[in-house]
Chain A
Amino acid sequence: MFTYVLYALAGGGLLVSFVKDRGKTKMALKKAWKSFENILPQFLAILIIIGLALSILSPETITMLMGTRSGVFGVLGAALIGSITLIPGFVAFPLAAALLKNGAGYMQIAAFVSTLMMVGVVTLPLEIKTFGKRATLIRNVAAFVFSLLAALVIGVVL
């Protein structure tokens, strides 16, 4: 649904841009392609890594890891899994809901969801391209620590 809004925005933007200045519009499209081609090699590599990781680390395995262990280790495990894997939201949330049903606690789920979104181990090469090593490391470590704290709070609140 939201993707259509983005397409409408991009399409509308292109149209307005084209009416105003054809040369600039052509340049915009060139830059769009250049930015995309710039990340394409890493991007394709990441897709394969995710495919391999998720075929080995099946939802059943994840459920086992997070569902049977509880407490601090469960939270840490959930946070590590969330950091390493990269699952699109529309897969991750139903998975998280299933995990809850299968006995995982809110704390583990919060750690999993939060690191899944904020920490990206497989996408580090892409992030380093824009932010350099140091800033990338700082952001990911800070996001990891924050996710653990957030999980703690959610575990207490819910």
Chain B
Amino acid sequence: MNHAFTGTLPLLRHAIRLDRWKLLPWFLAFGIIPVVVYAVYGSLFPTPLDAFALQSSLSTNPAFSLLLGPATDLSNAIGFTTWRIQMFGMFFAALMAILAVTRHTRATEDSGQAELLDSGVVGRLARLTSAVLFAWLASAALALLVGAALTLVGAPTTSAYALAGAMGGTGVAFAGVGAATAQLGSVARTANTLAGTVLGISYLVRGLGDTLQDSDWLLWASPLGWAEHIRPASENNPGPLLLLVGVGGMLVILAAWLSSRRDFGLGLIPTRPGPARGRSGIWGLTSRLNRLPLWTWGVNLLILGTVFGLVTGTLSSAFAGNPFVRQLIAFRVATEEQLTYAFVEVLLLILGIIGAVMGIQLALRFFAEEEERRAEWILSAPLSRLRHVIPTAALAILAPAVGMGICSLALATASNVSGSPLDVGKVVLQGAAELPAIWLAVGVALALLGLAPQLRSLAWLILVYWLLLTFFGPILKVPEWLLDTSPFHIVPHVFSAGTDWLSTWWTLAIAAILAVAGLAGYRRRDLVCT
């Protein structure tokens, strides 16, 4: 047992050296965004009354508590900052930890680097331990960064570090999740998908706990729910943080145990031999390669749509219990139907962004074929570049459309079943109205793939920019012209009278140009040969 950890520290140093630059964008985002949100509070809400008005109106749209958590206290800057960034912050900290752990455990086995490392003077558990320590260090650094940045701009120290701790703690817990799933899946991608699913379910369960009536107990079923109980800016309760760290540690012990029960390079989920003959061509290959992500996305969108629909179904009772909403309705400022549709529209916007994630992911997966040298081999057959890439492009365009169809139909159906009648046709149409924006994201991804594959991560960056702009822009009073640079901001409103579809056509045209440019670029450029 003594030797099981030999070599952990050199491996940790190696991991830090490899990942310095990979982590920089994460740290930058985590250093800057909280400060910006904190700093604009004063200009947004000159008087406490303004903040109170926002808090009241927020409670009319439960989509926000589903997405961002409850607005506990908006009467001061740190409370506002907490409400805006804590959920996203926790989500992305967890994602960073998962990716880091997988990258240094499972992915190194896939690439063969682990074989080289393990053959050296390295204990059996050293690689896993160093990867987890690395993710923990990164989470801690991230928390210190958020805490220090907020303190510097004047936030109360306790609250700032409580908020930072919620994020760092989530990272620590999900590093444990990543360590465990890295032992289950037999390739890095499977491991990431498994851990990502756990994260997604945790986010959803936490959201339901915050949104549904009398369901606080649900919060205890999700690590993100525990982190929420820290309640930065109001209670600053350190207990849940210990829980997160403890669970993270226990998951790592579980992972170590699992790793001793599996063979090098294989997962606990075994690989079975397959057919000795095949009949697929390039279309068949593309659908084979994307079968797992397509099923994962399909099931996730179905569940998400259904859950969102059920939440919508409970709206009537939520409205009835809210004095502010009762006033709005009584003074005919808004009808209950309008409020419901406003809610549904935000939900569909969230689903639309998730659809864009799906489209970008499907498009960019294609580059792995080049990176892992399979494109070189298959293109030596009589297969033109266009025929090679077109199935992927078609998939990245069609799959989000099917996905939006599935989730908006599920949303409308579930809502109707649970007591909030919605016009199914309109809901599906509003879902379809998100498609041009999704396709623009796919177009950006395809263009980068064909013209500048080294810069392909820009597609993610642009989506994050659109996401931040669309969800945070209006409340931060960003000028309208800047908001309009996000295609998700200009999605037509099907539920209001006189829908303007002009922006849709523009978005579609730009998306089409980008996609065509990408395909033409792939036809003309050198294959990336490593």
| A and B co-occur in one complex | no
**Residues of chain B at the chain A interface (Cβ within 8 Å):** none
**Residues of chain A at the chain B interface (Cβ within 8 Å):** none
